[in-house]
Amino acid sequence: MTIAENIHAIRARMADAAQRAGRDPKEILLIGASKMNDAAACQAAIAAGIDALGENRVQEMAAKLREHAYDGAPLHFIGHLQRNKARQVVGTAALIHSVSSLELLEEIGRLAERQGLVQDVLLEVNIGGEQSKSGFAPDVLRGAAERAAAIPHVRVRGLMAIPPIQREPHGNLPFFAKVARLYVDIGRDLYDNKFDYLSMGMSDDFEDAIAAGATMVRVGSAIFGHRQYQ
């Protein structure tokens, strides 16, 4: 299967999942998680109509930018972001999915102000309470979101989450449902119903994420094939 064929097949599955949930398929964006895939693969995904590409590592993103990997589609940053690397991402990524602390968000705001822009971001929720993952714990998220709303030069557009790895089929559904509830409640109470991005779901579970309310799914291996880790 080519990248284009994979994207068409995933779009069809996304549309089915949306219809089953009584949702409009057009409100759900397909983000290609392109880590460890080269510029040619990124360009093939863009030619096939991917909505955006998401990168995980700043260094890899910078190298692929020089190769014009993302020309023709928005670039998102979806990986863990260190404060000292934020400078390379602010103003370059249309959306940063993975804001995991208020200190990072303040730094993003400072950098955006210097460039005279407003950076769109999502707050990452550590929905499984895992030590190994970054993100706001669910019980501190509301407080953080309230403070985030007052930070200039950033616009919080919603939430992102990566649930713990599950062995059971549909095991992520309860986690997706919890994130969706936080998204709806915080969006209504603190953001004037202006939240529009709920980023959750990957190759193995994007249909369940859509059932729970995702508006962005981040799909890697189902588009680009299995990654070769060294």
Ligand X SMILES: *Cc1c(COP(=O)(O)O)cnc(C)c1O
- 64 in contact with ligand X (CB under 6 A): no
* DSSP class of 76: E
- 108 in contact with ligand X (CB under 6 A): no
HEC secondary structure over 146-193: HHHCCCCCEEEEEEEECCCCCCCCCCCHHHHHHHHHHHHHHHHHHCCC
Q: Locate 194 and state its tokens.
A: 């202006």
Q: Which residue has the tokens 């863990």?
A: 80
Shortest CA distance to 91 belongs to which of 125, 114, 66? 114
The contact mask relative to ligand X for 12-51 (x = CB under 6 A, - = no) is ---------------------x-x----------------
- 203 in contact with ligand X (CB under 6 A): yes
Among 219, 228, 229, 230, binds ligand X (CB under 6 A): 219
- 153 in contact with ligand X (CB under 6 A): no
For residue 214, give the 3-state DSSP assignment: coil
The least distance separating ligand X from the CB of residue 96, rounded to whole angstroms, comes to: 12
Closer residue to ligand X in complex, CB, 60/113:
60
How would you class 228 by CB atoms within 10 Å of its CB: exposed for 0-12, middle for 13-18, buried for 19 or more?
Answer: exposed
Among 3, 44, 61, 78, binds ligand X (CB under 6 A): 78
Which chain residues interact with ligand X by CB under 6 A?
33, 35, 56, 78-79, 162, 202-203, 218-222
